[in-house]
C-alpha cells in the first residue's frame, strides 16, 4: 500500500544528496576555528652570527695534533695525560652530560615513530542496587577482563616533533663538543702543571748551586776579614745573602710540592701519585712556532663548535614554539579481547577493536603560546650572542698566545746570548786566576751572572713551554670535529 506523500519517511541525507552539505558545514566550522585560534605572528630572532672573516680569520695548516703532548717526547708527561683522561672527575662529568644529551636525542627521535603497547586488566565489581542500573543488574557481582594491543602515531604535519629532534641533535652535538672542550682543558692543565714543576725543579738546582757559591764567597771573605783585607761591613753583607737564599730555596721546595699536588688532583689521584716526580726541564724540547698558524677556529676549538650547535638547537626550539600554534593530529588504534568472566574471554566473539583520528587545536591560551615563542626567540638571540662572544674571545686568546710565544722566543734568544758571554767572562777570569793574575774571590764573583742567567733561562723556558700549551689550547687542542652548517635563520 502506498503511503500518503505527507506521511512518507523522509529521505536520509545520504539519499537526499546531503553529503556535500555536511562537508561544507564541517569545512566552514574548521575555517571558523582556524580563524579564531592563536596565531604565531612574524616574530623572529634578531641577533646575527659573526662571520670568521669579519675578525680576520683565514684557513691554514692543521695544528696541533689530537695527542699534541706526545710532541714533547716525555714519557712521564704522556703517562700523566693518559691517567688524567681516564680518571679526572671533571672530564667524567662532561662525558656523563654528553651521554645524557644523546639519550634525550633518542627520546626526541622516538616521537617520530609509531607507538605500540599492551594493556591488560581484570576488574571484579559489584553494581549498586541504587545506582544507575536498577535490579536485576543492580546488586550483581561481575568480573570484566580486558586485554588489548594499543597503538598510536602522531602525524607531524607542522614539523613540531622534527624541530624537537633538531633541537635535541644540536644539544647532543654541543654536549659532545663540550666534552671535548673539557678534554682540552684537562690535558692542557696537566701539561702546564708538569712544565711548571719541571721549571721549579730546574730552578731549585740552580738555587742550590748559588748556595754553594755564596757559601764559598762567605768563606773567602771571612778569611780576608781575618787577615785585615776586608772589613766587617763587607763580611756581614755577604753573610746576609745566605739566609736570603735559603728563603728562596724553601719557597721553591714548597712550590714544587704544590705543583705535585696539583698534578695529582688533575689525574684524579692522591698526592702520593706524584711524590717522586722530578721532570727534567732540559730534556723537554722547545717546539718552534709553525710557519702557518691556523685561524679557522670554528673547526679547531670545541667551545666555538659547541656554541654553534647551541645556536642550531635554539633556532630549532623557535620552530617548536611556532609549531605549537598549529593543530596536533594523531591516529590511535587498539585490538583485543573484552568479556565478563573468564569462560568466554578467549571466544572470538569477545574481540574488540577501534581506530580513529584525534585533533587538538589551540584556540585561546591566555597568551601562553605567544609568550613561549617570545622566550624561544630570546633564547635564540642569547645563543647567537654567546657564539659571537665565544668567537671573539677565541680570536683574542689565539692572538695573545702567539704574541706571548714570540716574545718568549725573543727573550730566550737574548738570554742565551747573555749566558754565552757570561760563561766566556767566567772562563777568562778562571784562566787569569790559574795564571796568578787574580784571586779565587774574583772567580766566584764572575760566576754570579752565570748562575743568575741560568736561573733566568729556566724561567724563560718554563714560560715558553707554558705559552706553547696556551697556544695549543687556544687553537682547540687538536679537536677536529666539523662544525654544523650555518643555520639559515642565523645568517
**Distance, CA of 189 to CA of 182 (rounded, Å):** 10
Given this model, what pLDDT does residue 440 score?
Answer: 81
pLDDT per residue over 324-354, tens digit each?
888 888 889 989 988 888 888 888 888 898 8
Alpha helices in 227-275 (DSSP H): 232-266
* Residue 256: pLDDT band with limits 50, 70, 90: very high
> With the C-alpha atoms ordered 300, 306, 307, 311, is the resulting torsion angle positive or negative?
positive
**Distance, CA of 203 to CA of 196 (rounded, Å):** 10
Average pLDDT, the chain: 81
What 422-429 contacts at long range (C-beta under 8 Å, 24+ apart), as own/partner pairs, is 422/449, 422/450, 422/453, 423/450, 425/449, 426/450
Q: Which of 360, 384, 413 is the last residue of a domain?
A: 360
In a domain, 206, yes or no: yes
pLDDT per residue over 64-99, tens digit each?
677 889 888 899 999 999 999 887 888 888 888 889
For residue 151, the domain's CATH number is: 2.20.200.10
Q: Stretch 142-153: mean pLDDT, rounded?
A: 89
Contact 380, 318 (CB under 8 A): yes
139 and 210 within one domain = no
How would you class 449 by CB atoms within 10 Å of its CB: exposed for 0-12, middle for 13-18, buried for 19 or more?
Answer: middle
In a domain, 10, yes or no: no
Q: Stretch 48-62: mean pLDDT, rounded?
A: 54
Residue pointed to by grid coordinates 734568544? 413
Q: Please, what is the Cα angle at 259 between 255 and 265, to 5 degrees?
A: 145
Residue 481 in grid coordinates:
670535529
262 and 386 within one domain = yes
421 and 321 within one domain = yes
**Distance, CA of 323 to CA of 274 (rounded, Å):** 57
In a domain, 34, yes or no: no
* Domain hosting residue 265, numbered range: 42-112+158-326+368-490
Given this model, what pLDDT does residue 6 score?
Answer: 38
**Distance, CA of 13 to CA of 21 (rounded, Å):** 9
For residue 480, the domain's CATH number is: 1.20.1600.10
* Residue 292: pLDDT band with limits 50, 70, 90: low
86 and 138 within one domain = no
Q: Which helix (H) or strand (E) holds 220?
A: helix 160-226
174 and 321 within one domain = yes
Number of domains into which the chain is organized = 2
Backbone Cα Rg of the chain:
40
339 and 309 within one domain = no
Report the percentage of the chain scoring pLDDT > 70. 82
> With the C-alpha atoms ordered 462, 466, 471, 472, is the resulting torsion angle positive or negative?
positive
Q: Which of 313, 342, 360 is the last residue of a domain?
A: 360
In a domain, 265, yes or no: yes
486 and 408 within one domain = yes
Given this model, what pLDDT does residue 255 score?
Answer: 95
Given this model, what pLDDT does residue 296 score?
Answer: 57
* Residue 197: pLDDT band with limits 50, 70, 90: very high
Q: Which helix (H) or strand (E) holds 153?
A: strand 141-155
**DSSP labels, 437-476:** SS-HHHHHHHHHHHHHHHHHHHHHHHHHHHHHHHHHHHTT
In a domain, 421, yes or no: yes
265 and 400 within one domain = yes
Given this model, what pLDDT does residue 291 score?
Answer: 60
Given this model, what pLDDT does residue 200 score?
Answer: 95
For 130, phi then psi, to 5°, come to -115, 20
Given this model, what pLDDT does residue 52 score?
Answer: 56
Given this model, what pLDDT does residue 57 score?
Answer: 52
Q: How many CA atoms lie within 13 A of 57 on its CB side?
A: 22
In a domain, 235, yes or no: yes
Q: Stretch 376-388: mean pLDDT, rounded?
A: 91
Position 489 pLDDT exceeds 50: no
Given this model, what pLDDT does residue 490 score?
Answer: 44
Given this model, what pLDDT does residue 202 score?
Answer: 95
Residue pointed to by grid coordinates 633564547? 379
Q: Stretch 455-474: mean pLDDT, rounded?
A: 91
pLDDT per residue over 208-218, tens digit each?
999 998 898 88
**DSSP labels, 351-387:** EEEEEEEEEE-----TTHHHHHHHHHHHHHHHHHHHH
215 and 292 within one domain = yes
Alpha helices in 279-367 (DSSP H): 302-323
70 and 119 within one domain = no
Look at residues 219, 222, 226, 245 and name the one whose alpha carbon lies nearest to residue 235: 222
442 and 340 within one domain = no
Position 150 pLDDT exceeds 70: yes
**Distance, CA of 164 to CA of 176 (rounded, Å):** 18
Position 1 pLDDT exceeds 80: no
For 142, phi then psi, to 5°, come to -140, 165
Residue 347 in grid coordinates:
571466544
In a domain, 23, yes or no: no
Q: Please, what is the Cα angle at 81 between 80 and 85, to 5 degrees?
A: 120
Contact 310, 383 (CB under 8 A): yes
**Distance, CA of 394 to CA of 303 (rounded, Å):** 9
In a domain, 220, yes or no: yes
Report the percentage of the chain scoring pLDDT > 90. 28
401 and 302 within one domain = yes
Amino acid at each position: 500500500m502506498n503511503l500518503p506523500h505527507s506521511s512518507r519517511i523522509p529521505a536520509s541525507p545520504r539519499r537526499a544528496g546531503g553529503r556535500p552539505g555536511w562537508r561544507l558545514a564541517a569545512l566552514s566550522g574548521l575555517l571558523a576555528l582556524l580563524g579564531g585560534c592563536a596565531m604565531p605572528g612574524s616574530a623572529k630572532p634578531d641577533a646575527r652570527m659573526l662571520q670568521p672573516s669579519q675578525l680576520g680569520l683565514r684557513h691554514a695548516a692543521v695544528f696541533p695534533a689530537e695527542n699534541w703532548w706526545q710532541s714533547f717526547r716525555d714519557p712521564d708527561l704522556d703517562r700523566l695525560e693518559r691517567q688524567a683522561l681516564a680518571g679526572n672527575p671533571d672530564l667524567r662529568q662532561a662525558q656523563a652530560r654528553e651521554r645524557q644529551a644523546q639519550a634525550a636525542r633518542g627520546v626526541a627521535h622516538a616521537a617520530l615513530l609509531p607507538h605500540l603497547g599492551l594493556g591488560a586488566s581484570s576488574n571484579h565489581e559489584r553494581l549498586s542496587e541504587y545506582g544507575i542500573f536498577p535490579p536485576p543488574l543492580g546488586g550483581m557481582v561481575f568480573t570484566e577482563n580486558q586485554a588489548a594491543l594499543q597503538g598510536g602515531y602522531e602525524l607531524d604535519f607542522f614539523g613540531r616533533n622534527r624541530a624537537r629532534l633538531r633541537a635535541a641533535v644540536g644539544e647532543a652535538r654541543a654536549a659532545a663538543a663540550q666534552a671535548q672542550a673539557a678534554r682540552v682543558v684537562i690535558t692542557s692543565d696537566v701539561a702546564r702543571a708538569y712544565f711548571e714543576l719541571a721549571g721549579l725543579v730546574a730552578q731549585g738546582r740552580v738555587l742550590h748551586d748559588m748556595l754553594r757559591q755564596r757559601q764559598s764567597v762567605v768563606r773567602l771573605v771571612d778569611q780576608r776579614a781575618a787577615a785585615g783585607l776586608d772589613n766587617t761591613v763587607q763580611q756581614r753583607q755577604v753573610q746576609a745573602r745566605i739566609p736570603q737564599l735559603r728563603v728562596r730555596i724553601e719557597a721553591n721546595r714548597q712550590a714544587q710540592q704544590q705543583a705535585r699536588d696539583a698534578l695529582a688532583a688533575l689525574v684524579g689521584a692522591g698526592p702520593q701519585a706524584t711524590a717522586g716526580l722530578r721532570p727534567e726541564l732540559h730534556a723537554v724540547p722547545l717546539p718552534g712556532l709553525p710557519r702557518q698558524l691556523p685561524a679557522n677556529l670554528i673547526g679547531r676549538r670545541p667551545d666555538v663548535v659547541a656554541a654553534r650547535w647551541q645556536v642550531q638547537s635554539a633556532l630549532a626550539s623557535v620552530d617548536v614554539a611556532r609549531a605549537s600554534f598549529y593543530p596536533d593530529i594523531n591516529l590511535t588504534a587498539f585490538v583485543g579481547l573484552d568479556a565478563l568472566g573468564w569462560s568466554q574471554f578467549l571466544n572470538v566473539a569477545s574481540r574488540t577493536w577501534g581506530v580513529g583520528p584525534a585533533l587538538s587545536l589551540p584556540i585561546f591560551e591566555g597568551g601562553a603560546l605567544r609568550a613561549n615563542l617570545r622566550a624561544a626567540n630570546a633564547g635564540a638571540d642569547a645563543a647567537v650572542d654567546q657564539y659571537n662572544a665565544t668567537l671573539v674571545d677565541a680570536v683574542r686568546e689565539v692572538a695573545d698566545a702567539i704574541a706571548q710565544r714570540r716574545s718568549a722566543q725573543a727573550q730566550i734568544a737574548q738570554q742565551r746570548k747573555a749566558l754565552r758571554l757570561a760563561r766566556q767572562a767566567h772562563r777568562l777570569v778562571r784562566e787569569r786566576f790559574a795564571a796568578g793574575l787574580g784571586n779565587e774571590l774574583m772567580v766566584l764573583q764572575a760566576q754570579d751572572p752565570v748562575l743568575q742567567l741560568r736561573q733566568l733561562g729556566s724561567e724563560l723556558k718554563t714560560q715558553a713551554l707554558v705559552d706553547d700549551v696556551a697556544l695549543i689550547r687556544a687553537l682547540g687542542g687538536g679537536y677536529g670535529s666539523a662544525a654544523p652548517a650555518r643555520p639559515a635563520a642565523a645568517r
